């Protein structure tokens, strides 16, 4: 089995983890490492990871470039078999890896194991997708010409991922990249490198040739920046914040690279007066509080028809206050910590700002540091009422367990409020009225739309991505992934002339 831990371990423990470059596990040449700590308990050191830099990034791109022609030439069936085997290996370790994911990211154990299972499903899906038709056959003006298109891989691609889905997002980028014949340099988020490394481990063990997939851990400046600037990297698939996405638009476009961005959201759930209120409350709680509100698709605005706004807010606030917040490894916990102490600081500042902007705090809003939560990054599930749609809370992604209720007169006003943000990732409507549901689907500016379910639901075999500032007009997952990770080639094949003259 490929070993991710490295011989450079200096304290005799096995929790030092290396880069994976050109088929071998290697420490950073400087010998430097960085720490990964459990956000529920800062005393718990999850591991030390290679603090790499430009040298390791260059070596990873060298290895990926060298492996590219061979990987493109092997059959799609052979590539599919490796992905399929990796899925089986990951599935066999899903409990253990899901537990590690919870330890490093802080989502509940159920969510950590669930996310690992989702990565298994994604690997299986792309094992199948690799074997699907990848071009089209056309009639030609010349009836004897064979005219068709094929999709070629881009070559070397760079994959840069955030910490909030530390195994599913890497899987949904890396699996299609490999399935369609690209080689990969993967830079995971520095806050959650272990889940990323486990994914690489199973893919390596499944038989990927050396250089086809390379993992380089390290900071945005030391690894991310040289990766996006390397002209040999034909495509960059990035998921993360809007601020970083904006800088990549310039850096990657300037050097002529292909870029895919999946960014933030400010996702609305519109609740109409005819909706089943208890169902709407349960779905808004799930959408806003699961994963501690740290999902790009999290519900952060509940836009509620005035006739039911008070009743809805009362029930929402009671449900939020009843959530059990604590160690995510415990079975009874319903909400874990934020990713780290800085995130608690930032979201607490946003809560203060919402209060001073005139929103009414009806639940939470405070740090939790008692009952075993002393060393964790805990914040109470927070609900605001009477939120001004133009305020900071009404407009900006907080990325924490905070939802604001915005009362509106009717669905028309609800849609106008829902659409008046720069984001457009996901949206929900709760109603029993089919005509209003159809109007909503037509008019809402969001890439993922739900009727009577939470904004965060997303299945892995269908396209995923946002409109407006939430994306770069591309989509990930399902069949849509082929569009980014390949390019079209048009082929004309004519028979040679019937009589051959070689003089």
**Contacts with ligand NAP, residue ranges (CB under 6 A):** 160-165, 187, 189-191, 219-220, 224-225, 228, 239-241, 244, 247, 262-265, 296, 397, 399, 425, 466, 470
Q: How far apart are CA 256 and CA 232, in angstroms?
A: 11
Phi, psi of 104 (to 5 degrees): -90, -25
Tokens 């994914």: give the residue: 199
Sign of CA dihedral 222, 224, 230, 232: positive
Q: How far is the CB of 388 from ligand NAP (least distance, A)?
A: 22
Is 483 in the active site?
no
Sign of CA dihedral 452, 392, 368, 313: negative
Q: How far is the CB of 452 from ligand NAP (least distance, A)?
A: 23
Decide whether 350 or 397 has the Cβ nearer to ligand NAP. Answer: 397
- Residues in CB range of 391: below 8 A, 6 or more apart: 354, 357, 358, 359
Catalytic residue among 296, 305, 454, 476: 296
In 255-371, alpha helices (H): 277-289, 306-322, 341-356
- Give Rg (Cα) of the chain: 24
Pairing of strands 33-37, 402-408: unpaired
* Token representation of residue 184: 């990969």
Decide whether 68 or 248 has the Cβ nearer to ligand NAP. Answer: 248
Please tell me what DSSP assigns to residue 222: I
Decide whether 149 or 340 has the Cβ nearer to ligand NAP. Answer: 340
Q: How far is the CB of 481 from ligand NAP (least distance, A)?
A: 13
Q: How far is the CB of 54 from ligand NAP (least distance, A)?
A: 13
Of 303, 320, 305, the C-alpha closest to 446 is 303
Decide whether 115 or 201 has the Cβ nearer to ligand NAP. Answer: 115
Sign of CA dihedral 397, 401, 407, 412: positive
Are the beta carbons of 64 and 41 closer than 8 angstroms? no
Q: How far is the CB of 191 from ligand NAP (least distance, A)?
A: 6
* Token representation of residue 416: 């106008």
Q: Concatenate the DSSP letters of all residues of 2-24 into one string.
A: ---B-TT-SSSSS-EE-EEETTE
Decide whether 317 or 455 has the Cβ nearer to ligand NAP. Answer: 455
Q: How far is the CB of 65 from ligand NAP (least distance, A)?
A: 19
Q: How far is the CB of 343 from ligand NAP (least distance, A)?
A: 9
Decide whether 249 or 479 has the Cβ nearer to ligand NAP. Answer: 249
What are the Cα distances from residue 268, in Å, to 92, 110, 376, 391, 471?
A: 37, 25, 29, 15, 17
Catalytic residue among 262, 305, 397, 454: 262
Decide whether 91 or 115 has the Cβ nearer to ligand NAP. Answer: 115
Q: How far is the CB of 383 from ligand NAP (least distance, A)?
A: 20
* Token representation of residue 25: 């596990």
Are the beta carbons of 382 and 365 closer than 8 angstroms? yes
Phi, psi of 215 (to 5 degrees): -115, 130
Please tell me what DSSP assigns to residue 220: I
Decide whether 161 or 382 has the Cβ nearer to ligand NAP. Answer: 161
* Token representation of residue 442: 């037509």
Q: How far apart are CA 199 and CA 99, in angstroms?
A: 14
Q: How far is the CB of 77 from ligand NAP (least distance, A)?
A: 30
Of 159, 168, 138, 166, the C-alpha closest to 150 is 138
Is 454 in the active site?
no
Are the beta carbons of 160 and 239 closer than 8 angstroms? yes
* Active site members: 262, 296
């Amino acid at each position: 089995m490929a070993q991710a831990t490295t011989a450079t371990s200096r304290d005799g423990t096995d929790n030092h983890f290396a880069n994976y470059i050109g088929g071998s596990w290697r420490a950073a040449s400087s010998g430097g490492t960085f720490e990964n700590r459990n956000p529920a308990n800062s005393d718990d050191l999850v591991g030390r990871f290679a603090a790499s830099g430009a040298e390791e990034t260059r070596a990873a791109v060298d290895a990926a470039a060298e492996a590219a022609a061979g990987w493109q030439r092997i059959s799609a069936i052979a590539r599919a078999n490796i992905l399929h085997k990796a899925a089986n290996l990951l599935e066999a370790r899903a409990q253990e890896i899901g537990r590690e994911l919870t330890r490093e990211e802080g989502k509940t154990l159920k969510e950590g194991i669930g996310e690992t299972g989702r990565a298994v499903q994604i690997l299986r899906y792309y094992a199948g997708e690799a074997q699907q038709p990848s071009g089209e056959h056309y009639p030609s003006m010349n009836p004897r010409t064979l005219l068709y298109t094929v999709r070629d891989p881009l070559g070397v691609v760079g994959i840069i991922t955030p910490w909030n889905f530390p195994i599913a997002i890497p899987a949904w980028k890396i699996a299609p990249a490999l399935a369609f014949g690209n080689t990969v340099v993967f830079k995971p988020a520095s806050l959650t490198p272990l889940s990323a490394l486990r994914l690489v481990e199973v893919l390596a063990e499944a038989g990927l040739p050396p250089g086809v997939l390379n993992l380089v851990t390290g900071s945005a400046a030391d690894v991310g920046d040289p990766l996006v600037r390397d002209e040999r990297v034909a495509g960059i698939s990035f998921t993360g914040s809007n601020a970083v996405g904006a800088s990549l638009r310039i850096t990657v476009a300037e050097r002529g690279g292909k870029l895919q961005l999946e960014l933030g959201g400010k996702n609305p759930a519109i609740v109409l007066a005819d909706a089943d209120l208890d169902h709407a409350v349960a779905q808004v709680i799930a959408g806003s509080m699961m994963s501690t509100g740290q999902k790009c698709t999290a519900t952060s605005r509940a836009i509620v028809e005035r006739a039911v706004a008070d009743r809805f807010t009362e029930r929402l606030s009671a449900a939020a206050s009843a959530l059990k917040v604590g160690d995510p490894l415990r079975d009874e916990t319903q909400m874990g910590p934020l990713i780290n102490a800085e995130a608690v600081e930032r979201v607490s500042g946003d809560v203060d700002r919402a209060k001073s902007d005139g929103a009414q705090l009806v639940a939470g809003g405070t740090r939790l540091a008692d009952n075993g939560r002393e060393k964790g990054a805990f914040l109470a599930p927070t609900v605001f009422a009477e939120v001004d749609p133009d305020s900071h809370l009404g407009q900006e992604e907080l990325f924490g367990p905070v939802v604001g209720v915005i009362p509106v007169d009717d669905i028309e006003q609800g849609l106008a409020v829902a659409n008046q943000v720069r984001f457009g990732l996901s949206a929900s409507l709760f109603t029993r009225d089919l005509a209003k549901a159809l109007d909503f689907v037509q008019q809402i500016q969001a890439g993922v739309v739900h009727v009577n379910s939470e904004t965060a639901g997303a299945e892995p075999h269908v396209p995923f991505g946002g409109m407006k500032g939430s994306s770069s007009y591309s989509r990930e997952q399902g069949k849509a992934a082929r569009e980014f990770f390949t390019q079209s080639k048009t082929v004309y094949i004519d028979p040679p002339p019937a009589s051959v003259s070689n003089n």
